[in-house]
Amino acid sequence: MVLSLTTGIRTEEARALRWDHVVAWMPSTKSWRPVTEAGFKHKKFAIYVWRADRVGGDTKTRKSRRTLELPKIAAGALRQHHTRQAAQKLKAGTAWHDHNLVFCTGVGTPLDAANVRRAFRKITEDAQIGPGWVPRELRHSFVSIMSDQGVPLETIADLVGHAGTSVTEAVYRHQLRPVITKGAHTMNTVFGDSRRAESE
C-alpha cells in the first residue's frame, strides 16, 4: 500500500516487481545496484517499473516503462517488507517458490488480483474508511496529492506512466481539479475585496 500510494504504480506493476528491480544508488560507482546486492544501508533508492502482471509480462504501454526514485517512507517500508519476507521464506522451507518477487504469497508464488483486492478491502474496513475501496484508489490518491502540491501535469503523466497528458486528464480529471481551479482561487483572493467594494 505504501509503495503504490507514494509512487502511483499500477497494481499489476506492483505484483510483477522483482527485488532486482529495487535499486540503491552507489555514490562510489555512481550507479544503481539491486538491493539484493547492495542492501538497504543507503540514502537513495529507486524502482525499475519494467514489467507488469499482464499477458507477456509487458507494461501497459511503452511509456509505462519508467524508473522512479523512492520517497524515504517507501524505501523504509520495502526494507521492513524484505525482512518480513525473509522470515516467511525461512518458515516455508522447501515449499517456497523463489520468483524473486517483492510482493508474493506466503510461499513465494505470484499474487492473484482478486486476493489483492480482498486483502485491500479488509485493510480499509479495519481502518474504518469504508468497504468500497479498491487498490486503484491508491494510484488516484497519488495523482491527487501530486496535483494538490502543484506538480505540473506533464510530470504527473510521466510518473504514472501515461503516454501523454491527455490520458492523465481524461482518466484523472476529478483528481486534477485542485490545479485546474487554482487560478480562479488565486484571482478571487487578489481581486475579491476590490470587486466587493465596487459592487457596494
**Interatomic CA distance for residues 181 and 16, integer angstroms:** 37
Q: Which residue has the cell 479495519?
A: 126
DSSP per-residue codes, 122-159: HHHHHTTS-S---THHHHHHHHHHHHHTT--HHHHHHH
Cell 518477487 belongs to residue: 101
- Whether 139 is catalytic: yes
From the candidates 15, 21, 51, 172, give the one annotated as an active-site residue. 172
Active site residue 81: no
**Is 82 one of the catalytic residues?**
no
Question: Is position 63 annotated as part of the catalytic site?
Answer: no
**Which of 10, 21, 51, 66 does the annotation list as catalytic?**
10
Residue for cell digits 505484483?
15
Q: Does the annotation count 21 as an active-site position?
A: no
Of 21, 51, 66, 139, the catalytic one is 139
Q: For residues 192 and 120, what is the distance between their CA atoms, to the nearest angstrom? A: 45
Task: Write the DSSP string, 89-122.
Answer: HHHHGGG-----BSSB-TTSPBPPHHHHHHHHHH
CB burial of residue 34 (10 Å; 0-12, 13-18, 19+): middle
From 42, 60, 79, 117, active-site residue: 60
Residues taking part in catalysis: 10, 60, 139, 162, 172
